[in-house]
A and B are shown apart, each in its own frame.
Chain A
């Protein structure tokens, strides 16, 4: 249990210098940000380093921040070191116009479907992914539904014709 958040942070700064930024620890979970071109380098370093050994990809997902121009999409990685039982989280931000990032599938087999899901819902294009196609939505869909520009239907609207649901009339 020797691995502390402080030490991980030092190791990361030692290796990547100013590229890793925005360190914080919400609810004790070390969180930081790296440039999107460096996601694989950081993943590889965290995986290979004999001290850090973050070899379990717990989760991978995206978040859409439409107001943050040039950094609209964030991909969030949750990693876990089983030996020392430490978790960390890091994020990469990207422009929604060019949402290209490198795939983590060569490192983690489980990233395959997680990335497909992220592509399916947010349109993040994972370069080098072996089979990047929609996974939960229908193949014919031509938009990315979890983006914030597609709000959930407003329940107060009255212009919706409900006839097709067998209820007749409007509302």
Chain B
């Protein structure tokens, strides 16, 4: 018996002096563990509860979007982008539309830009609501999650008014939106702007200076700015390390240069700082939405009805027009049958997704579908740092580090 144990120990990783256990244990965290919030597998080597090494496996829900996109006309790629980061699908949709518009040299009117900004910031808020409240869940505070989830519902109701769907939104078109925001949408937006700040304040009160929450998150999974940059971190995770990189400011798109907002940054890059940065970003998003709403109200006369660019050769006409108007029928036919001119070229466009820089690299060879389309999925890139983040920490910390990174399996595996 003793010999067997000894032999077994030899196959294991040598443990440091003073270890409690006599041998390490290999532990599968995931792929379907309730604490991982998605299909992530981590093969952990643990000494008691201390993690010695981690190896991440991804690809469980790989759906070959890049390959599928090579046979889809540009407007049919939008539903694929929905399924990347599905917690903030509108940002992906808009990012894709803007990539196409760049290729097709379509200029969008200011009102369209502002409408897009509203939707994108709502999406960012909805995404941060989930991520931050889930950190609460993983540290043992379920009620805050259930509480703020009501406000994500308000955001989804606004989506519904605009595009008819909630999670995988397929919102907008190349050139703008498929319809103008209706009165109910504005009403619901106002309701959200009035009610959410109070809830967010309460959410902060419950967690921000909460002793248990602070003890659990401060110092968990920290990373230095230098390492984070080397690991390709972007978005709130990078800003939590103190690097003020934000695509909205550094390469403004959709008229973000017209807005006045701050980029919150952290210092230590641990779970707590990531949480703080995201929370502050929600306040900034609300501020941006307010500014955009105000700017939209300043439009007069004809301009108040503008919700898409005047590009009939790329913008799908409304269906009722297709049935009744010759012009619309012709354009509809040409777009659907792939007879519109698509210029050749290569485009890089990136937007500030809710969890980092979401990039689109599109190569067009005049075909109706992209010759090559690559998505730069932020969490695929920064998830590589996970083994380094959790090394020498406790098993319970690995769970909150995982949720604080805002990893979305759909985006990672594309």
Stretch at the interface among A10-18, A37-45, A50-58, A94-102: A50-58
Judged by a CB distance under 8 angstroms, whether A5 is at the interface is no
Interface size on B, residues (CB 8 A): 40
Q: Name the residue on A nearest B359 (C-beta).
A: A59
CB neighbours of B70 from chain A (8 A): 152
Stretch at the interface among B2-10, B41-49, B59-67: B59-67
Tell me the B214-230 residues at the A interface (CB within 8 Å). 227, 229-230
CB neighbours of A113 from chain B (8 A): 380-381, 383-384
B67–A57 contact, CB under 8 A?
no
A26–B347 contact, CB under 8 A?
yes
Kindly provide the distance from the CB of B385 to the nearest chain A CB, expressed in whole angstroms.
7
| A26–B346 CA distance with the chains assembled, in angstroms | 7
Query: How many of chain A's residues touch chain B, expressed as a range?
Result: 20 to 34
CB neighbours of B363 from chain A (8 A): 63
A110–B347 contact, CB under 8 A?
no
Which among B250, B251, B374 has the greatest number of chain A C-beta atoms within 10 A?
B374
Q: Known contacts A87-B348, A136-B62, A136-B413; decide if A57 and B250 are in contact (CB<8 Å).
A: no
Kindly provide the distance from the CB of B362 to the nearest chain A CB, expressed in whole angstroms.
10
Judged by a CB distance under 8 angstroms, whether A61 is at the interface is yes
CB neighbours of A76 from chain B (8 A): 361
Judged by a CB distance under 8 angstroms, whether A135 is at the interface is yes
B59–A109 contact, CB under 8 A?
no
| A55–B385 CA distance with the chains assembled, in angstroms | 17
| A121–B350 CA distance with the chains assembled, in angstroms | 22
| A59–B414 CA distance with the chains assembled, in angstroms | 15
Binding site for A on B (CB under 8 A): 58-59, 62, 64, 66-68, 70-71, 102, 227, 229-232, 243, 245, 250-251, 345-348, 350, 357, 359, 361, 363, 371-372, 374, 376, 380-385, 413-414
What are 24 A-B interface contacts by the 8 Å CB criterion? A26-B345, A27-B102, A27-B347, A27-B348, A58-B350, A58-B357, A58-B376, A59-B361, A61-B361, A85-B250, A87-B251, A108-B230, A108-B232, A110-B231, A110-B384, A117-B380, A134-B59, A136-B413, A137-B62, A146-B66, A146-B67, A151-B71, A152-B67, A152-B71
